Amino acid sequence: MANTDLVSLRVFSLNCWGIRYLSKHCPQRYAMIGEMLCKEEHDIVLLQEVWSEKDYLNLKKKLACSHPHSHYFKSGVIGSGLAMFSKHRIQDTFLFRYSLNGYPYMAHHGDWFGGKAVGMAILNLGSLTAHVYVTHLHAEYCREKDSYLPHRVVQAWELQQFIRHTSAGADVIILGGDLNMHPQDLGNRLLRTYTGLRDCYLETAKFDGCEDGITLIADNPFTSKKELVPFDKGIRIDYILIKGSSKTSIHCDVMRTTKGSVADSPFPYSDHEALTAELRLGSHVTADTADDGQAKNKDSAAGKLAELVDIVTEARTEVKVGIHCAERMRYTSARTGVMGLALLFLELAIAAVPWLALGAEQPFPRTSFYLLAALCFAILLTTFLLYVFYTMELKSLQGAEDQMRLALGSLQEKLRGFPVAQPHSALRGPPEGREPGAFAPEE
């Protein structure tokens, strides 16, 4: 493909809700999805919640002709649930597993077992290189009291890091998936502002779908209306995001979502709506993609930078809240463990009295003795496992906070108008006049 040519690209994204034996009409819905994909022949298909590898393999078989290239991203206990089908050859893949993803003891939520991650595939579109990302972040079970918010913010932070650092060689970047974040949620703003990714729904020339682009709608028979309160109609949490490069521009001409039902079918494809974006690739760098690389308009760049500083600061605050919670939980498990140990020693001491004072009567009924001992061991084991888990959670949160602080320092220095690139003479000279912690003024 010559660079002067325009190329169109159709991208599809769907959270398949594919929990075998638990999700309603799972096999029938996979059959419907397979048929539709086979017929529609999108260039790139990004699927989430394909929890069973068997379902992926069935889809792969069905789409062998329309989408000869595919990849299933494996992670965690169950898998990442992420799958990708493509008409174009997948040259290379890479998986980044988020360091935080809920709690294993919240088994009814199940996120931890899924090993949530972001999968990347490098595709060659003629002479262009596309980096295509698919992801699924931790679900939001209660918006008012969202105990998973720090985890989701760290996931959004790691997602933007992963995309920024792995996309330097890309001509175009496409991200599709279920972000489990509303358009103006902190993690979403962080992702879009830091990476420069643009929301297809917001910039499409033509949109056909549900009001406000919502993708988890009240009209869908599989969604629980109660869980959507206070959003009567539904929420927008699935996205297709795009970004060009200095060489290549990318635009969304048409965006479509399903509307809760499928023609000639008794039920929809999933509890989420499916997204389709018709993208146009070109070699002209137009005004709205120029800010991908070097901003032409300095004022606007400074504005964006200031916005980014605010967002990262907000994210850092949220992560600090998470650190506080994790510290408290770790402390609680340590204290409970110590109490369990004290109880065990107390029991042993009481039991030892008649043993030492020969002839004295055994004050402990045997049944109670063994039950109490078992309880003590159970407490010790559980609190030990929890302590290890919370320590890992704490390390990940602290790590993210450290990275945010460092990034803030760099951003603020840029914002102050200091030259980011150091002068040559500074290279081997002593770093005079620069204070050790100067890049982290907030600490």
Residues 6+ apart with CB under 8 A from 147: 325
Binding segment (CB under 8 A) for its own copies, from list 123-131, 206-214, 269-277, 302-310: 123-131
The only residue of 22, 77, 205, 306 in contact with its own copies, by rule CB under 8 A? 77
Minimum CB distance to its own copies, residue 419 (Å): 10
∠ CA 128-277-31 to the nearest 5 degrees?
Answer: 105
Please confirm, yes or no, whether 25 is among the known catalytic residues: no
Map the footprint of its own copies across residues 142-161, applying CB under 8 A.
161
Number of residues that bind its own copies (CB under 8 A): 80
User: How, if at all, do strands 275-282 and 249-257 pair?
Assistant: antiparallel
Binding segment (CB under 8 A) for its own copies, from list 20-28, 68-76, 253-261, 262-270: 68-76
Tokens of 437: 């912690």
The only residue of 7, 301, 343, 351 in contact with its own copies, by rule CB under 8 A? 7
Task: Identify any residues that bridge with 15 across adjacent strands, giving them in sequence order.
Answer: 48
57 binds its own copies (CB under 8 A): no
Per DSSP (E only), the strands in 22-116 are 44-48, 69-73, 82-86, 90-97
User: How, if at all, do strands 128-136 and 172-178 pair?
Assistant: parallel
Q: Which of 272, 284, 324, 424 is catalytic?
A: 272
The only residue of 13, 48, 52, 75 in contact with its own copies, by rule CB under 8 A? 75
The only residue of 286, 392, 441, 442 in contact with its own copies, by rule CB under 8 A? 392
CB nearer its own copies, residue 287 or residue 421 = 421
91 binds its own copies (CB under 8 A): yes
User: How, if at all, do strands 7-15 and 275-282 pair?
Assistant: antiparallel
- Contact mark string toward its own copies, 224..263, x via CB under 8 A: ----------------------------------------
Map the footprint of its own copies across residues 16-45, applying CB under 8 A.
41, 43
Which 3 state secondary structure label does DSSP give 299?
Answer: helix
Identity at 169, one-letter amino acid code: G
> Is it true that the peptide bond before 230 is cis, omega within 30 degrees of 0?
yes
Map the footprint of its own copies across residues 102-121, applying CB under 8 A.
115, 120
CB nearer its own copies, residue 183 or residue 282 = 282
∠ CA 90-95-97 to the nearest 5 degrees?
Answer: 160
Q: How far is CA 48 from the centre of its chain?
A: 11
403 binds its own copies (CB under 8 A): yes
Residue with tokens 């379902």: 55
